[in-house]
Copies of this chain bind each other. A is one copy, B any other.
């Protein structure tokens, strides 16, 4: 039997980490790059008054002129479980550098759903609705999560110890182990991500994301709202349709 002795080292976390590493994002560059189409070179020295550009930005979002939103970029440091990364990396309009299970011994930090994570799905494929789990379901989930992670991580260490390569040993680690990465996206790609990976009342096109990737999206959204407030407002006002 795989030993359970090292269970005490495991960390179980309920949260996602999103930090802004750098950005070149602003409402101003949206307006300037859009204005080049009508005024050419003068866009470089164009007036930067917010009240003037908010109308332009709203027009661009409403009419789905997406390219002016591609000049604003964000680089995030993100820590999330692998099953979230699996969904995240389906977004191809982004740049990724991730922690490597081939080069690095992976740390024993595992995601476990919190008490307010709804556990029961109803409705049909593609449009699930989620409901609260019972205390029993939460207890079962917690037990099975922690025990499986413990078994798996100890089996992993056990293989490393006898000299088996990291890339082989990691094969039996579970999908809820955390991994970290740098992610760079422009604001057009980011709005696409936010529109698909959050379920928000009033969205023009409803989405049914898994809760855990939505937690990442919410953190992206807060940073986006701060860095590009006019673009963000228009995005929300226009039903969260990515241009």
Contacts from A to B (Cβ < 8 Å): 1-2, 19, 21-24, 29, 32-34, 36-41, 43-44, 59, 63-65, 67-68, 70-71, 73, 75, 77, 79, 81-83, 85-86, 89-90, 92, 95-104, 107, 111, 113, 117, 119-121, 125-128, 130, 133, 136-137, 140-141, 143-145, 147-149, 151-152, 155-156, 158-159, 162-176, 179-182, 184, 186, 205, 210
Interface CB pairs A-B, < 8 A, 16 = A2-B144, A29-B75, A33-B97, A41-B79, A71-B95, A73-B184, A82-B86, A86-B89, A90-B96, A103-B125, A103-B126, A137-B162, A140-B159, A152-B174, A170-B175, A184-B186
- Contacts A104-B40, A158-B140 given; does A119 touch B32 at CB 8 Å: no
**Are B119 and A168 touching (Cβ within 8 A)?**
yes
Interchain residue pairs A-B with the least CB separation, the first 10 = A70-B95, A92-B92, A144-B155, A37-B100, A121-B165, A171-B176, A24-B24, A33-B97, A33-B182, A148-B172
Q: Count this chain's copies in the assembly.
A: 4
Give A182 to B136 CA distance when docked, in angstroms.
38
Asked if A24 and B172 make an inter-chain contact with CB atoms under 8 angstroms apart, the answer reads no
Docked Cα-Cα span, A179 to B38, in Å, equals 11
Given A184-B186, A186-B184, A144-B173 contact (CB < 8 Å): no
A126→B162 contact, CB < 8 A: no
Q: Indicate if the CB atoms of A44 and B19 lie closer than 8 Å.
A: yes
Q: Are B159 and A144 in contact (CB under 8 A)?
A: yes
A107 CB contact (under 8 Å) in B40, B120, B169: B40
- Contacting A36 at CB < 8 Å: which of B97, B140, B158, B167? B97
CA distance A24 to B165 in the complex (A): 37
Whole-angstrom CA separation of A44 from B21 in the bound complex: 8
**Chain B residues whose CB sits within 8 angstroms of the CB of A70 once the complex forms:** 95, 184
Q: Are A140 and B162 in contact (CB under 8 A)?
A: yes
A147–B155 contact, CB under 8 A?
A: yes
Q: Which of B24, B44, B113, B174 contacts A174 (CB 8 A)?
A: B174
Chain B positions within 8 Å of A59 at CB level: 126
Q: Could you tell me the distance in whole angstroms from the C-beta of A70 to the nearest C-beta in chain B?
A: 3
